[in-house]
Amino acid sequence: MNSLLAKLGIAVDHEFIPYVENGMKILLILLLAWGAMLLIRRLITTFERFAIARADDPEGRRRVATLSRVVRYLVNVLLIAVVVMLVLSNLGISIAPILGAAGVVGVAVGFGAQSLVKDFLSGFFILLENQIRVGDFVAVAGERGHVEEVTLRNVRLRGFDGSVHFIPTGMIDKVSNMTLEYSFAVMDVGVAYREDLDEVFEVILETGAALRQDASFGPRILEDIELLGVENWADSAVTIRCRFKVVPLEQWNVRRAFLKRLKQAFDASGIEIPYPHLTLYPGHAKDGTAPALRVKVQGGGPA
């Protein structure tokens, strides 16, 4: 240092040389930190642009931007903390007591803000893993609705009746996303036991094919109707299950349209859609020859 200052023609008292050295070290640390921060920002921005270019929808691009802001913030905080410790060390200030005090404060804050930290961590991984996106229909924390906003802190859902639910991400331990990539419109159709199931299957398939050819509903349906077969023997009906693979959020519309058309097709083919009924016997003649029960109608004679 003495030789360097002498070459520069700067005369400095020997007592101040250590301060000059420390000052130059601090300046070098700040310059390196500034360069590192610029480099990291450039790398994060480059990655963000690359990921946004590959995202296939606006929500995916928003998710990438949110994650980039979080990573940028965490990196900046970490870098600033390292720079502050290095600067204090070069100033001759022992950082051990500071670290100890910071640890105590951190523990105290941690106990007081456990739920907040849990929310932020949960929100980060929900965004990272693309579990929930704006516009999805999900069931979380006992609530169902369309997702209006997803942040690190909470998820905002709007229910069918218009109610808005704010759910902290830390409370979300299970996500049921009914509109991720594609959906299924599932229908359980009941017919009378006396009906020919082969005929019923044929009517269902024809109705499903006609719905897919419809100009309005065809673009919403991704595949032909899938007839799964007999699902259950109910008290008064044979239950047949079928389903459509549809674009997200269209499963309810497709289901309603199909059931309407199927009711019309069953009526045209004479296929009975049963309802619960009860046969009463007067307590004798198990062979069915017992006379009909006489029921007294209120306000009139026997029916």
Considering the chain, what percentage of its residues have pLDDT values greater than 70? 74
Give the confidence band of 72 by pLDDT, cuts at 50, 70, 90: confident
The most confident of 23-27, 46-50, 135-139, by mean pLDDT? 135-139
Same domain, 58 and 6: yes
DSSP 3-state of 268: helix
Averaged over 89-108, what is the pLDDT? 66
Residue 38 lies in a domain: yes
Task: Note whether 123 and 132 are within 8 A (CB).
Answer: no
10 plus 93 within the same structural domain? yes
Q: How far is CA 239 from CA 98, 164, 190, 205, 259, in A?
A: 71, 36, 4, 16, 14
**pLDDT greater than 70 at residue 302:** no
- 66 with 18, same domain: the answer is yes
Give how many domains the chain has, as a whole number. 3
b/e sequence 4-21, b meaning 16+ C-beta within 10 Å: eeeeeeeeeeeeeeeeee
Q: What is the pLDDT confidence band of residue 303, given thresholds at 50, 70 and 90? A: very low
pLDDT of residue 66: 67
Kindly report, residue by residue over 145-181, the tens digit of the pLDDT: 998 888 778 889 999 889 999 999 888 888 899 888 8
**End-to-end CA gap in the chain:** 119
- CATH number for position 236: 3.30.70.100
pTM: predicted TM-score of the whole model, two decimal places: 0.60
Which domain, by its residues, includes 160?
A: 132-177
